[in-house]
Amino acid sequence: MNLFNGEFCTGCGLCVSESEQVIKMDWDEYGFLKPVTLHGNMPGEAMKVCPFNPKPEDAIADEDKLAGIYLKEAAQFDPEIGCFENTYIGYSRNWRSTSSSGGMATYIFEQLLQLRIVDHLYIVKEVNGSYAYQLFSNETEIKETSKTRYIPVTLEDLFINIGNIEGKVAVSGVACFIKAIRLKQYYYPELRDKIPFLIGIICGGWKSSFFTDFLAQSSGIDGDYRNQEYRIKDANSTASDYSFGAYDGRGAFYQMKMSRVGDMWGSGLFKSKACDFCTDVLTELADISLGDAWLPECRSDGMGNSIIITRTLLADQLIREGMERDDLCVQPAPKSRIIESQRPSFSHRRDGLKFRIRMAKLQGCVLPYVRKRVLRPISISYSIVQLQRSITRSESLEQWRAASSLEVFNRKMNKALKRLRFVTRVYHKMRKFKIS
């Protein structure tokens, strides 16, 4: 039995700690980690820490209300950015070459340990050829954590064992994971001191493990693979021209440019349905939010740059001190540039949400609670794009599950992807000429 509705779950695993060993996380048929019952009925208490709860308590109903609890001292507020201190763009001089984007997450991890702000990091690193959340306390091994991993992971073990961990813990995560932690801290206030710092990783969509299987096969691997890398930079090209690579079962390394498989983000291939009902583009509930600087002035730099949003004074201090020491090549940036760097995500997640809600209700879905202030009407042409994206996303998971080979999958997905490209082109042309 799945919790609430498995379609609206990204597998954060917080519910497990509320279940008295009735729930565990396990892989579903579509390559996602989901909560399942071991015996008996699903405890009602488990839903209270779910970031996609359809009926949350009013005091913590959404990101705005949670920010009013955890970030009420922040100096600024923007309807798209949320509560914050300052905004920046740049990179870490030491960590940029071995990390994703500008290496800022790795820099923050290092500083948190060096300055004894926390005793441990709970972050994703390599485990037996794949990746999972692990407790990490040694700053000399920080390089192991310095890459983006597009594979399902879960916080399940952290909150089962948090009472046995000595010292303070910082956690990194995508928006829904950060929200789940804030919900847990609300019900257990002692966890605010235990977990004093959250690093938000700006996310373009939570991918199934099918995504990695697809990339491995597309790169030429036949069979098992390990130690996959999703963001291999090309210093002689652009920031978006990165590669995927992995080792096969014999130890041979295969690599391919991601451009070879087309747009994996705008198409929504292998993405969780829950992401289409998340309004938090910039991890609004973290202490610091980090992501790719997808801007014209940054795209030409193949080594990558990060957008940085500090949401607490401590986070802002870490950035400013790094700038003063020249550890960081970072400049203050107007908030408009931060928003623009993630414009496609804002357009899809927020602009298209009202239409997606209407479509889901027609199908009888019980939906997560979302902020009403972000809902807005869209044109007929953009509604058609939203509908085709939803079809393409769903079909990619069904077709990969059923496909006997990469060739079969590509052939069966060809029509859906062509339709999506066509309706997207029509929408852009109509928008250009201001036609609905």
- Do residues 295 and 359 both lie within one domain? no
Which residue, of 300, 330, 345, is where some domain finishes?
A: 345
CB under 8 A, 24+ apart: contacts of 72-75: 73/312, 73/313, 74/311, 74/312
Residue 1 maps to a domain: no
Residue 266 maps to a domain: no
- Do residues 230 and 244 both lie within one domain? yes
Residue 268 maps to a domain: no
Indicate the pairing of strand 120-127 with strand 169-173. parallel
User: Residue 221 is part of which domain span?
Assistant: 209-261
Query: What is the tally of structural domains in the chain?
Result: 3
**CA dihedral over 53, 59, 159, 106, signed as positive or negative:** positive
Alpha carbon distance 30, 397 (integer Å) = 6
Task: In the chain, count H helices and then E strands.
Answer: 13, 15
In this structure, what token pair is assigned to residue 331? 């400049």
- Do residues 126 and 48 both lie within one domain? yes
Q: Amino acid identity, residue 165?
A: I
Residue 95 maps to a domain: yes
Q: State the pLDDT at residue 1.
A: 39
Q: State the pLDDT at residue 39.
A: 83
- Do residues 153 and 82 both lie within one domain? yes
Q: What is the DSSP string of 264-310?
A: TTTS-TTB-GGGGG---SS-TTSSEEEEE--SHHHHT-TT--EEEEE
End-to-end CA distance of the chain: 43
- Do residues 203 and 228 both lie within one domain? no
Which residue, of 345, 363, 395, is where some domain finishes?
A: 345
Which residue, of 345, 360, 386, is where some domain finishes?
A: 345
- Do residues 176 and 278 both lie within one domain? yes
Residue 295 maps to a domain: yes
325: how many CB neighbours lie within 10 A of its CB? 9
What separation in angstroms does the CA of 202 have from each of 69, 306, 394?
21, 10, 23
Alpha carbon distance 390, 385 (integer Å) = 9
Residue 306 maps to a domain: yes
- Do residues 351 and 402 both lie within one domain? yes
Residue 384 maps to a domain: yes
CA torsion angle for 151, 287, 284, 4 (degrees, to 10)? 50
Q: Amino acid identity, residue 237?
A: S
- Do residues 88 and 45 both lie within one domain? yes
- Do residues 167 and 222 both lie within one domain? no
CB 207 within 8 A of CB 148: no
Expressed in percent and rounded to 5, the helix, strand and coil fractions of the chain are: 45, 20, 40
- Do residues 327 and 368 both lie within one domain? no
Q: Amino acid identity, residue 423?
A: V
Q: State the pLDDT at residue 2.
A: 46
In this structure, what token pair is assigned to residue 415? 């029509």
Alpha carbon distance 83, 384 (integer Å) = 33
- Do residues 380 and 293 both lie within one domain? no
- Do residues 229 and 300 both lie within one domain? no
Residue from 116, 137, 112, 134 nearest 125 by CA: 134
Which residues lie closer than 8 Å to 377 by C-beta, 6 or more apart? 354
Half-sphere exposure of 189 (CA within 13 A, CB side): 1
Alpha carbon distance 32, 355 (integer Å) = 25
Q: Is 234 exposed, middle or buried (0-12, 13-18, 19+ CB in 10 A)?
A: middle
pLDDT tens per residue, the chain (436 residues)? 344 557 899 999 999 999 988 999 999 999 999 999 888 777 888 999 999 999 999 999 999 999 999 999 999 999 999 999 999 999 999 999 888 889 999 999 999 999 999 999 999 988 888 899 999 998 877 766 667 789 999 999 999 999 999 999 999 999 999 999 999 999 999 999 999 999 999 999 999 999 999 999 999 999 999 999 999 999 999 999 999 999 999 999 999 999 999 888 889 999 999 999 999 999 999 999 999 999 999 999 999 999 999 999 999 999 999 999 999 999 999 999 999 999 999 999 999 999 999 999 999 999 999 999 999 999 999 999 999 999 999 999 999 999 989 999 999 999 999 999 999 999 999 988 877 5
Residue 144 maps to a domain: yes
Q: State the pLDDT at residue 65.
A: 98
Helix (H, G, I), strand (E, B) or coil at 245: strand
